Amino acid sequence: MIKQSKWVRAHTNIAFIKYWGKENEELILPKNNSLSLTLDAFYTDTQVSFDEDLNKDILFIDGEEQDEKALNKAQVILDLVREEADIHDFARIDSKNHVPTAAGLASSASGLAALAGAASLAAGLDLSKEELSRLARRGSGSASRSIYGGFAEWEKGTSDSNSVAIPIDKADWDIGMLFIIVDDGKKDVSSTEGMRRVVETSPYYEGWISSATEDLAAIKSAIKKQDIVEVGEIAERSALKMHALNLSANPPFNYWSPESIVAMRKVEEFRNQGYSVYLTMDAGPNVKLIGKASQMDELYQALLETFRKEQLVIAKPGPGIQILED
Ligand code: PMV
């Protein structure tokens, strides 16, 4: 017998207050609360089938079978669902990533959120948003926030049961992002490894925790006021502090390529020209602009002087997880 879900769609999110450090690696409990914006431009569609004829779990992304390593995080979610629903069959996962070609954007947030949705659906579990967030978190921390549209906060909690994301604001105001995709071909330090290194060795880690708490309170009140300047300034500071942790780790590391710096300087230039635009960066060289959605087309045009159009993607706030009806 095959228990197959419908296709489930989850969008990626970008943190404005970063999650950078785990309190508990196995359960994926973070050191600090984080806050993100879910975006319309990048998403993953996933279908799960529990099938008694399978002799192992298999994962296909865009039609290509993936290796064991790619399956690891997914299997954490599958195992939790199997246990909860008392299912003993292996599963086939089919995923389609909707990201611009060569975007170099890891899609773990949208991928693992969509998987949490599809696996629980195939198993016949009727999970609340909060339960889905908790399940997605076990695959990848940032995935906990992709259950919701707009702004979401992942509350660090104290245990598996209360470390979940909650919705904060629909972001139905003039806010948007523009991605500058920079591929440096260099092998990155994984987020798991990066987090471990800063927690264990950065002399600034305590400062990070206390300032993340302040930044979170400040950005929530700025979001309430729909104040793009404050939101952008706080988000940019949070990102740069995260990257400062990496520079201060032992051994130090960073995710920047020369082109990242070019993009960062552009943001400064735009601000000098009067635009309210700020940047954020994650565990990779891409630079993401935060600003008024209504000004993104102008900035896009200006960036074409420096970057190729394939490197530029405009994104708006996106929706939460959804089941696709055929
Ligand atoms: O959820 P992970 O393991 O992919 O870690 C994500 C870490 C950052 O993207 C750098 C920050 C964040 O909060 O999303």
* The dihedral formed by the CA atoms of 309, 310, 312 and 317, expressed in degrees to the nearest 10: 130
Q: Which amino acid is at 256?
A: W
Answer whether 82's CB lies under 8 Å from 123's CB.
yes
pLDDT the model gives residue 208: 98
Checking if the pLDDT of 326 tops 80, the result is: no
C-alpha of residue 236 to centroid of ligand 1, in Å: 15
Q: Which atom of ligand 1 is nearest to the CA of 283?
A: 10
Cα 196–165–7 angle (5° rounding)?
100
Q: How far is CA 202 from CA 20, 32, 35, 71, 206, in A?
A: 12, 16, 23, 31, 9
What six digits make up the tokens of 292? Answer: 């008024």
pLDDT the model gives residue 27: 98
The rounded percent of the chain whose pLDDT value lies above 70 is: 97
Q: Among candidates 266, 276, 277, which has minimal Cα distance to 306? A: 266
pLDDT the model gives residue 317: 98
Which residue has a Cα nearest atom 6 of ligand 1? 142
| Cα end-to-end distance, the chain, whole Å | 22
pLDDT the model gives residue 124: 98
What six digits make up the tokens of 294? Answer: 């209504």
Q: How far is CA 127 from CA 152, 161, 162, 212, in A?
A: 18, 14, 15, 31
Of 150-164, 171-185, 267-281, give the lowest mean pLDDT range. Answer: 171-185
What tens digit of pLDDT does each residue of 242-285 get? Answer: 999 999 999 999 999 999 999 999 999 999 999 999 999 999 99
pLDDT the model gives residue 187: 66
Q: Among candidates 119, 150, 159, which has minimal Cα distance to 136? A: 119
6 phi/psi in degrees, rounded to 5: -75, 175
Q: Coil, strand, or helix at residue 214?
A: helix
pLDDT the model gives residue 275: 98
Alpha carbons 278 and 105: distance in angstroms, whole number = 19
**Does residue 19 line the site of ligand 1, with CB under 6 A?**
yes
Which DSSP string corresponds to 277-301? -EEE--SSS-EEEEE-GGGHHHHHH
pLDDT the model gives residue 100: 66
Q: From the DSSP assignment, how many helices (H) and strands (E) are in the chain?
A: 8, 15
**Does residue 282 line the site of ligand 1, with CB under 6 A?**
yes
Which residue has a Cα nearest atom 9 of ligand 1? 282
CA 3 to chain centre: 29
The confidence band for 183, taking pLDDT boundaries of 50, 70 and 90, is confident
C-alpha of residue 225 to centroid of ligand 1, in Å: 26
Q: Which atom of ligand 1 is nearest to the CA of 17?
A: 13
Checking if the pLDDT of 119 tops 80, the result is: yes
pLDDT the model gives residue 32: 98
The confidence band for 186, taking pLDDT boundaries of 50, 70 and 90, is low
All domains of the chain, ordered by start, with CATH?
2-172 (3.30.230.10), 176-315 (3.30.70.890)
The pTM of this model reads 0.97
What tens digit of pLDDT does each residue of 187-245 get? Answer: 679 999 999 999 999 999 999 999 999 999 999 999 999 999 999 999 999 999 999 99
What tens digit of pLDDT does each residue of 76-97 get? Answer: 999 999 999 999 999 999 999 9
Q: What is the mean pLDDT of the chain?
A: 95
**Does residue 284 line the site of ligand 1, with CB under 6 A?**
no
What six digits make up the tokens of 273? Answer: 């020209």
Segment 124-139 mean pLDDT: 98
**Does residue 140 line the site of ligand 1, with CB under 6 A?**
yes
pLDDT the model gives residue 107: 74
**Does residue 191 line the site of ligand 1, with CB under 6 A?**
yes
